[in-house]
Structure 1
């Protein structure tokens, strides 16, 4: 039996003031074979962030995600974000190069027998230096150090155009797609109008 699509085949109008993206869901159900990764351990380290570091977390979330219109955590209240960062089953790290934060890694174990790669990213100047492969190796190692059966992630067409291919090279397999429609964070004020410059603002 063929599933009936929730959206009609063809074009669907996106309301003014909103964004639409195609979301790809990926997973791995066993730890992949180890592969050589760049020797960046001497220059990059991971610093665990806690519930008391909301400002630092938000600043890093913006530094990594503004270009890609990340907004979900910017819409959370202090209380809601504190609850996530303080949850013992959520692990958040800042990627450090010396005293500068250059990336974000967040693993969420709140689902039984599973880990979600909730956030993964680097600031622009780190891209192309092998830091992404190093960070993914750290993510895989730390995720599968727990008794999980599934490691999963989702990405969308607003993210880096190479994101899906990168995840697949890392051992993830795509299994589902969805369309997400959300209020444009540049209109609601979470991000500036200059964010995501390749995606036009359509206010209506």
Structure 2
């Protein structure tokens, strides 16, 4: 348990407040599909997934899937209880929706995000409606996710507006991917970079 007060974070690390959220019953908003996009399954291809993961999440220092080698990532992507979807614009995947049903009675919104090509178009709200619909079609009792303070500043508010309720907060400390994974040091200017 952390005591009250300030705690130094080692150089080369990032610290974030992680908020866990859940939804116990579907709360659809009836958002129409934006013009010029189509909703589709995402091919279970490691190279395609890595490209989309980077285009959606690198500005927010998404690193979880980048830590996995191709074999480990492929095992997840080909699991029958992991479902992948996207929004296509001009034939190109521009959104990532990953639903993880590997625990009975629950679905984790493992990854959710848009590339810059779709931000501000209403595509996020539309995609969230599809996520909620698809999750609860499986007869789950709990749809859950977590977001953190290095993610988009709009993320927590977006999830709450979609009907998710915060259930817990934690502090996570991890290697800064701008150092450990060679991400561009200019990414995520809202997160200070402290080299060791």
- Please confirm whether the aligned pair reaches a TM-score higher than 0.5, indicating the same fold: yes
Q: Tell me, yes or no, if structure 1 residue 38 matches structure 2 residue 32.
A: yes
Q: Tell me, yes or no, if structure 1 residue 108 matches structure 2 residue 100.
A: yes
Q: Tell me, yes or no, if structure 1 residue 173 matches structure 2 residue 168.
A: no
Query: 1:9 Cα deviation (Å)?
Result: 0.7
Query: Which residue among 11, 14, 20 is the counterpart of 1:16?
Result: 11
Q: How many angstroms apart in 2 are the aligned matches of 1:38 and 1:123?
A: 19
- Aligned to 1:148, what secondary structure does the other structure show? coil
> Do the aligned residues in 1 keep the contact of 2:30 with 2:129 (CA within 8 Å)?
no
Alignment length (residue pairs): 196
Tell me what 1:26 maps to. 21
Cα deviation 1:72-111 (Å, max 9, x = unaligned): 1000011110110010000112321131121100000001
- Aligned to 1:9, what secondary structure does the other structure show? coil
More off after superposition, 64-73 vs 189-198: 189-198
> Do the aligned residues in 2 keep the contact of 1:47 with 1:96 (CA within 8 Å)?
no
Distance 1:39 1:83, change over 3 A: closer
Query: 1:124 Cα deviation (Å)?
Result: 1.7
Q: Point out 4+ residue stretches in structure 1 off by more than 4 angstroms.
A: none
More off after superposition, 6-15 vs 17-26: 6-15
- For 1:147-162, what aligned pairs fall within 5 Å after superposition? 147-162=139-154
- Aligned to 2:42, what secondary structure does the other structure show? strand
Q: Tell me, yes or no, if structure 1 residue 191 matches structure 2 residue 183.
A: yes
Query: 1:45 Cα deviation (Å)?
Result: 2.0
Query: 1:183 Cα deviation (Å)?
Result: 0.3
| TM-score, L = length of structure 2 | 0.95
Query: 1:190 Cα deviation (Å)?
Result: 4.6
Query: 1:191 Cα deviation (Å)?
Result: 1.9
> Do the aligned residues in 1 keep the contact of 2:37 with 2:87 (CA within 8 Å)?
no
Unmatched segments (≥5 aa) in structure 2: none
Query: 1:41 Cα deviation (Å)?
Result: 7.0
Q: Tell me, yes or no, if structure 1 residue 142 matches structure 2 residue 134.
A: yes
Question: What is the RMSD of the two structures over their aligned residues, measured on CA atoms?
Answer: 1.4
> Do the aligned residues in 1 keep the contact of 2:36 with 2:90 (CA within 8 Å)?
no
- Aligned to 2:187, what secondary structure does the other structure show? coil
